[in-house]
Amino acid sequence: MMTIKTQGKYAFTKEIDLLDFSRRSIRFLEMSVPPLSGHSLRVAYLARALAEALGFGEGLSRRVILAALLHDLGIFFIYKVKGLYDEVHRLAQKELDEVEEGVGSELAHCVMGERILAETKVMAHLAPLVRLHHPRDNERDLATFESLSPEERTGACAVALSDAVARSLAKRRLELMPSSAALAEIFDEVGRSSPGYFLLQASRDGLIEALRSVLSQKSLFVDIRSEWYMDEVLRSRHGHPSSIGVEELTGVVRVFVKYMEARSPYTAHHTRLTTLFAQAMVSRLGSLSLEEVAEMTLASWFHDLGKMLIPLSVLHKKGPLSPEEWSVMKEHSYSHYIFFGSMEPLKRAVFWGACHHEKLDGSGYPWGLKGHQIPLAGKILAVADVASALLEERPYKEPLSFGEALKVLESEVRRGLLDGNCFGLLREAATELGIDERMTFKEVSALWAEEEKAA
């Protein structure tokens, strides 16, 4: 069987700012849970102010800001837990702290956030800080806390305090400068909801005093009412960026896709299979640079990430979608482009991913590009995407065998929708991968599992 030669270690020139990527990821994910909008940014803003007030070193400061930004990451991936996803939406009009309490049962989102981050290479160091952002007075949390280094404990306290204060402020509707009585109430609330070991560490580290001085800054109460202001402060004052490469970022997006499985198993499986096809097709080409090949892989992992924002009532609807539902569904290939497309190092990969529903005759979306306007990578992804979708069982359709899928693809080529050369690449790649026409989704997916092991 062919080995796909796209997963080696190459020297890439493009560096991606991890904080910028995290900031955009959270703003993107918060779109799916409107009551959380701006919350993570507010926590990161407060954590940054605390880090500055206490003169944290570059490394700890960066770690605290990143962990604060990502502290509620788990919320967006725990859809299956007791109908949590629907629960969060049902509470959309209620106060943030009520939402957090609903979500906080069993502290599922802290554990989920920890798990996701721990599986990435570049963000694993944030996992314990995220795990402890709602510290409780129980043995398990105390043991976790005590297992941390002194610096990590300080970081965990800074993140958890910032979260507690952000929730307390949100309840007061972010009024301009709370009165001294309101401030006393805020500190009282934070004190009552925090375990003793945590408060002891926080006061030893000077965090409580620093928090008092941070909360006496008038400009803070202007900034925290505006996502734009907080965003600007965070972007302009976060010190030296921590950069990662295209392959490392691909690893992060791959973990996100893995955990998408809890919400939409077919989307996660589909993304894996589309990537398998796209990588195999690209490696047949031989004309792309190694950097382009890596970006193509990233594009494929990214391509349906926008489905995180599509309500399940539309995404998993049994039966045909109404015109309104279709217009919602069609946003999925565009939303990730809006959030990540303006990051210079990601521009190309994100654009390629966003082109996967474009058709040669201009009838596709989101832009309705025509043949020559669609990049080659977009044409390859379009074929890989349709091939994978046809093989899958979805809530609204039966699965096809690979041979049946090829017939449908061929007719789309004849109708001038998909690129004939890319279709040829898929046939060649399938032969090399050992896929025969009778194979089903399950059998073809098994090849993916082998690729995973080899990676």
The least CB distance from residue 39 to Fe ion, in Å, is: 6
For helices 246-260 and 290-302, the axis angle rounded to 10 degrees is 20
Nearer to Fe ion, 17 or 385 (CB): 385
Q: Binding residues for Fe ion, how many (CB under 5 A)?
A: 4
Q: How far is CA 446 from the centre of its chain?
A: 26
Choices 19-27, 163-171, 220-228, 409-417 (CB under 5 A): range interacting with Fe ion:
163-171
Pick from 163, 205, 223, 451: which binds Fe ion (CB under 5 A)? 163
Partner residues linked to 361 by β-bridges = 370
Nearer to Fe ion, 225 or 394 (CB): 394
The binding track of 369-388 with respect to Fe ion, each residue x by CB under 5 A or -, is: ----------------x---
Length, in residues, of the chain: 455
Q: How far apart are CA 149 and CA 146, in angstroms?
A: 8
The least CB distance from residue 75 to Fe ion, in Å, is: 7
Task: Answer for the pair 347, 376: CB distance below 8 angstroms, yes or no.
Answer: no
Nearer to Fe ion, 72 or 114 (CB): 72
Q: Calculate the CA dihedral of residues 144, 146, 150, 151 and round it to 10 degrees.
A: 10
* CA angle, residues 221, 225, 228, in degrees to nearest 5: 115
The binding track of 28-67 with respect to Fe ion, each residue x by CB under 5 A or -, is: ----------------------------------------
> Containing H/E element for 423?
helix 420-433
Residues within window 390-409 making contact with Fe ion, judged by CB under 5 A: none
Residues within window 71-90 making contact with Fe ion, judged by CB under 5 A: 72
Q: How far apart are CA 419 and CA 169, in angstroms?
A: 55
The least CB distance from residue 380 to Fe ion, in Å, is: 13
Nearer to Fe ion, 61 or 335 (CB): 335
Nearer to Fe ion, 205 or 385 (CB): 385
Task: Answer for the pair 16, 242: CB distance below 8 angstroms, yes or no.
Answer: no
The binding track of 306-345 with respect to Fe ion, each residue x by CB under 5 A or -, is: ----------------------------------------
The least CB distance from residue 13 to Fe ion, in Å, is: 29
Query: DSSP of 206-233, one letter per residue?
Result: THHHHHHHHTT-HHHHHHTT-HHHHHHH
Nearer to Fe ion, 244 or 305 (CB): 305
Nearer to Fe ion, 14 or 42 (CB): 42
Taking each continuous run of H as one helix and of E as one strand, the counts in the chain are 25, 2
20 binds Fe ion (CB under 5 A): no
Residues within window 247-306 making contact with Fe ion, judged by CB under 5 A: 304
Rg over alpha carbons for the chain, rounded to the nearest Å, is 24
Q: How far apart are CA 123 and CA 55, in angstroms?
A: 23
Nearer to Fe ion, 68 or 293 (CB): 68
**Number of Cβ atoms within 10 Å of the Cβ of 251:** 18
Q: How far apart are CA 253 and CA 40, in angstroms?
A: 19
The binding track of 206-235 with respect to Fe ion, each residue x by CB under 5 A or -, is: ------------------------------
* DSSP structural state of residue 366: S
The least CB distance from residue 422 to Fe ion, in Å, is: 15
Nearer to Fe ion, 215 or 355 (CB): 355
Q: Which residues bind Fe ion (CB under 5 A)?
A: 72, 163, 304, 385
